[in-house]
Protein backbone atom coordinates (compact mmCIF):
# COMPACT_ATOMS: atom_id res chain seq x y z
CA UNK A 1 0.00 0.00 0.00
CA UNK A 2 1.63 3.19 -1.15
CA UNK A 3 0.55 5.56 1.60
CA UNK A 4 1.01 3.69 4.86
CA UNK A 5 2.52 5.67 7.69
CA UNK A 6 6.31 5.53 7.83
CA UNK A 7 6.78 3.46 10.97
CA UNK A 8 10.39 4.58 11.42
CA UNK A 9 9.22 8.19 11.72
CA UNK A 10 6.15 7.48 13.87
CA UNK A 11 7.46 4.67 16.06
CA UNK A 12 6.32 6.52 19.18
CA UNK A 13 2.60 6.53 18.34
CA UNK A 14 0.11 3.92 19.44
CA UNK A 15 -1.18 1.12 17.25
CA UNK A 16 -4.63 2.70 17.41
CA UNK A 17 -3.32 6.04 16.14
CA UNK A 18 -1.38 4.36 13.35
CA UNK A 19 -4.39 2.31 12.27
CA UNK A 20 -6.79 5.28 12.33
CA UNK A 21 -4.36 7.43 10.35
CA UNK A 22 -3.68 4.68 7.84
CA UNK A 23 -7.43 4.34 7.24
CA UNK A 24 -7.65 8.08 6.58
CA UNK A 25 -4.63 7.88 4.27
CA UNK A 26 -6.42 5.55 1.88
CA UNK A 27 -7.61 8.85 0.40
CA UNK A 28 -4.51 10.36 -1.18
CA UNK A 29 -3.24 12.47 -4.07
CA UNK A 30 -1.88 10.84 -7.22
CA UNK A 31 -2.24 13.55 -9.86
CA UNK A 32 -5.77 13.99 -8.49
CA UNK A 33 -7.67 12.66 -5.51
CA UNK A 34 -7.10 8.89 -5.42
CA UNK A 35 -8.78 6.21 -3.33
CA UNK A 36 -7.21 2.89 -2.33
CA UNK A 37 -10.59 1.47 -1.32
CA UNK A 38 -12.53 1.66 -4.55
CA UNK A 39 -13.15 -2.10 -4.71
CA UNK A 40 -12.98 -5.26 -2.63
CA UNK A 41 -9.49 -6.10 -3.91
CA UNK A 42 -8.22 -2.77 -2.59
CA UNK A 43 -9.72 -3.35 0.85
CA UNK A 44 -8.38 -6.90 0.97
CA UNK A 45 -4.87 -5.67 0.15
CA UNK A 46 -5.06 -2.86 2.69
CA UNK A 47 -6.26 -5.08 5.54
CA UNK A 48 -3.64 -7.74 4.82
CA UNK A 49 -0.94 -5.05 4.95
CA UNK A 50 -1.89 -4.45 8.61
CA UNK A 51 -1.12 -7.84 10.12
CA UNK A 52 0.69 -6.13 13.02
CA UNK A 53 -2.39 -4.16 14.11
CA UNK A 54 -5.36 -6.16 12.80
CA UNK A 55 -5.64 -9.70 14.20
CA UNK A 56 -8.16 -10.60 11.46
CA UNK A 57 -5.80 -9.63 8.61
CA UNK A 58 -4.48 -13.08 7.75
CA UNK A 59 -6.79 -14.73 5.27
CA UNK A 60 -9.12 -11.72 5.13
CA UNK A 61 -11.08 -11.40 1.89
CA UNK A 62 -13.34 -8.37 1.57
CA UNK A 63 -16.84 -8.49 0.15
CA UNK A 64 -19.09 -5.64 -0.93
CA UNK A 65 -20.72 -5.41 2.50
CA UNK A 66 -17.38 -4.96 4.24
CA UNK A 67 -16.20 -2.47 1.61
CA UNK A 68 -19.30 -0.31 2.01
CA UNK A 69 -19.05 -0.39 5.80
CA UNK A 70 -15.35 0.55 5.85
CA UNK A 71 -15.87 3.37 3.36
CA UNK A 72 -18.74 4.76 5.46
CA UNK A 73 -16.54 4.53 8.55
CA UNK A 74 -13.67 6.29 6.78
CA UNK A 75 -15.94 9.22 5.88
CA UNK A 76 -16.85 9.53 9.55
CA UNK A 77 -13.22 9.32 10.66
CA UNK A 78 -12.08 11.99 8.20
CA UNK A 79 -14.93 14.26 9.32
CA UNK A 80 -13.84 13.87 12.93
CA UNK A 81 -10.21 14.44 11.92
CA UNK A 82 -11.34 17.72 10.35
CA UNK A 83 -12.92 18.69 13.64
CA UNK A 84 -9.82 17.65 15.58
CA UNK A 85 -7.52 19.99 13.59
CA UNK A 86 -9.69 23.08 14.11
CA UNK A 87 -9.15 26.01 14.03
CA UNK A 88 -6.90 24.82 11.22
CA UNK A 89 -8.41 23.95 7.86
CA UNK A 90 -9.31 20.33 7.05
CA UNK A 91 -7.62 18.33 4.32
CA UNK A 92 -8.37 19.67 0.84
CA UNK A 93 -9.95 16.30 0.03
CA UNK A 94 -12.63 16.85 2.67
CA UNK A 95 -13.44 20.54 2.49
CA UNK A 96 -16.60 20.07 0.41
CA UNK A 97 -17.81 16.68 1.62
CA UNK A 98 -17.68 16.56 5.40
CA UNK A 99 -20.51 14.77 7.16
CA UNK A 100 -22.62 16.53 9.77
CA UNK A 101 -20.90 15.99 13.12
CA UNK A 102 -23.81 14.05 14.61
CA UNK A 103 -23.84 11.69 11.62
CA UNK A 104 -20.08 11.12 11.86
CA UNK A 105 -20.33 10.31 15.56
CA UNK A 106 -23.28 7.98 14.97
CA UNK A 107 -21.44 6.06 12.25
CA UNK A 108 -18.29 5.74 14.34
CA UNK A 109 -20.02 4.62 17.52
CA UNK A 110 -22.34 2.19 15.76
CA UNK A 111 -19.41 0.66 13.89
CA UNK A 112 -17.42 0.29 17.12
CA UNK A 113 -20.32 -1.67 18.63
CA UNK A 114 -20.55 -4.16 15.74
CA UNK A 115 -18.17 -6.79 17.09
CA UNK A 116 -20.24 -10.01 17.18
CA UNK A 117 -19.72 -12.31 20.15
CA UNK A 118 -20.69 -15.84 21.11
CA UNK A 119 -20.96 -17.36 24.60
CA UNK A 120 -18.08 -19.70 25.46
CA UNK A 121 -18.11 -21.99 28.50
CA UNK A 122 -14.99 -21.94 30.67
CA UNK A 123 -14.85 -24.53 33.47
CA UNK A 124 -11.61 -24.99 35.38
CA UNK A 125 -11.03 -28.02 37.63
CA UNK A 126 -11.27 -26.04 40.86
CA UNK A 127 -13.91 -23.46 39.91
CA UNK A 128 -17.52 -23.03 38.94
CA UNK A 129 -18.35 -22.87 35.22
CA UNK A 130 -18.14 -19.37 33.77
CA UNK A 131 -19.61 -18.06 30.53
CA UNK A 132 -17.35 -15.68 28.64
CA UNK A 133 -17.98 -13.86 25.38
CA UNK A 134 -15.58 -14.26 22.48
CA UNK A 135 -15.49 -12.25 19.28
CA UNK A 136 -16.47 -13.91 16.04
CA UNK A 137 -14.43 -13.28 12.92
CA UNK A 138 -16.15 -11.65 9.97
CA UNK A 139 -16.69 -8.39 8.14
CA UNK A 140 -18.44 -6.88 11.16
CA UNK A 141 -15.34 -7.48 13.24
CA UNK A 142 -12.98 -5.68 10.84
CA UNK A 143 -15.21 -2.59 10.82
CA UNK A 144 -15.52 -2.69 14.61
CA UNK A 145 -11.75 -2.99 15.08
CA UNK A 146 -11.11 0.00 12.83
CA UNK A 147 -13.80 2.05 14.58
CA UNK A 148 -12.49 1.15 18.03
CA UNK A 149 -9.00 2.22 16.98
CA UNK A 150 -10.38 5.56 15.77
CA UNK A 151 -12.30 6.07 19.02
CA UNK A 152 -9.16 5.39 21.06
CA UNK A 153 -7.08 7.74 18.93
CA UNK A 154 -9.59 10.59 18.95
CA UNK A 155 -10.04 10.33 22.72
CA UNK A 156 -6.30 10.07 23.38
CA UNK A 157 -3.33 12.39 23.70
CA UNK A 158 -2.06 11.79 20.15
CA UNK A 159 -5.08 13.67 18.79
CA UNK A 160 -3.50 16.96 19.90
CA UNK A 161 -0.71 16.42 17.35
CA UNK A 162 -3.05 15.77 14.42
CA UNK A 163 -2.71 18.20 11.51
CA UNK A 164 -3.82 18.42 7.87
CA UNK A 165 -1.01 18.91 5.37
CA UNK A 166 -1.70 21.88 3.09
CA UNK A 167 1.19 21.49 0.70
CA UNK A 168 0.23 21.63 -2.98
CA UNK A 169 -1.36 18.35 -4.13
CA UNK A 170 -1.36 16.82 -0.64
CA UNK A 171 -4.51 15.64 1.13
CA UNK A 172 -2.91 13.77 4.03
CA UNK A 173 -3.41 14.06 7.77
CA UNK A 174 -0.34 13.55 9.95
CA UNK A 175 0.94 13.75 13.52
CA UNK A 176 3.38 16.55 14.30
CA UNK A 177 6.74 15.15 15.37
CA UNK A 178 8.17 18.50 16.50
CA UNK A 179 6.74 21.99 17.19
CA UNK A 180 7.91 23.59 13.92
CA UNK A 181 6.65 20.83 11.62
CA UNK A 182 4.23 22.17 9.00
CA UNK A 183 4.17 19.36 6.43
CA UNK A 184 3.56 15.64 6.55
CA UNK A 185 6.92 14.83 4.91
CA UNK A 186 9.93 16.66 3.45
CA UNK A 187 8.74 16.39 -0.16
CA UNK A 188 5.61 18.34 0.77
CA UNK A 189 7.71 21.03 2.40
CA UNK A 190 9.80 21.31 -0.74
CA UNK A 191 6.70 21.69 -2.93
CA UNK A 192 5.24 24.32 -0.60
CA UNK A 193 8.46 26.36 -0.64
CA UNK A 194 8.68 26.17 -4.45
CA UNK A 195 5.03 27.26 -4.73
CA UNK A 196 5.64 30.22 -2.40
CA UNK A 197 8.75 31.20 -4.38
CA UNK A 198 6.81 31.14 -7.66
CA UNK A 199 3.97 33.13 -6.13
CA UNK A 200 6.37 35.85 -4.86
CA UNK A 201 7.98 36.16 -8.28
CA UNK A 202 4.56 36.28 -9.96
CA UNK A 203 3.43 39.11 -7.70
CA UNK A 204 6.68 41.01 -8.22
CA UNK A 205 6.52 40.82 -12.02
Q: Which pLDDT score, from 0 to 100, does residue 7 have?
A: 45
Residue 183 belongs to some domain of the structure: yes
Q: Which pLDDT score, from 0 to 100, does residue 107 have?
A: 98
Q: How many domains is the chain built from?
A: 1
Residue 122 belongs to some domain of the structure: no
Residue 27 belongs to some domain of the structure: yes
Q: Which pLDDT score, from 0 to 100, does residue 97 have?
A: 86
Does the global pTM surpass 0.95?
no
Q: How far is CA 119 from CA 27, 110, 128, 132, 203, in A?
A: 38, 22, 16, 6, 69
Asked if residues 43 and 67 have their Cβ atoms less than 8 Å apart, the reply is yes
Residue numbers of the domain that contains 170: 15-113+139-204
Residue 82 belongs to some domain of the structure: yes
Q: Which residues of the chain have pLDDT under 70?
A: 1-11, 30-32, 133-135, 137-139, 189, 191-205
Residue 173 belongs to some domain of the structure: yes
Amino acid sequence: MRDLINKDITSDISGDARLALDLALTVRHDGGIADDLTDTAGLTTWVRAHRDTLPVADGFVADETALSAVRELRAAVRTLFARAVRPGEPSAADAARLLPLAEALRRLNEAAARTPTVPVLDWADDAEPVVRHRGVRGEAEIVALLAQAAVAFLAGADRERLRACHAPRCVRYFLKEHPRQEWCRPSCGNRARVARHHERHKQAS
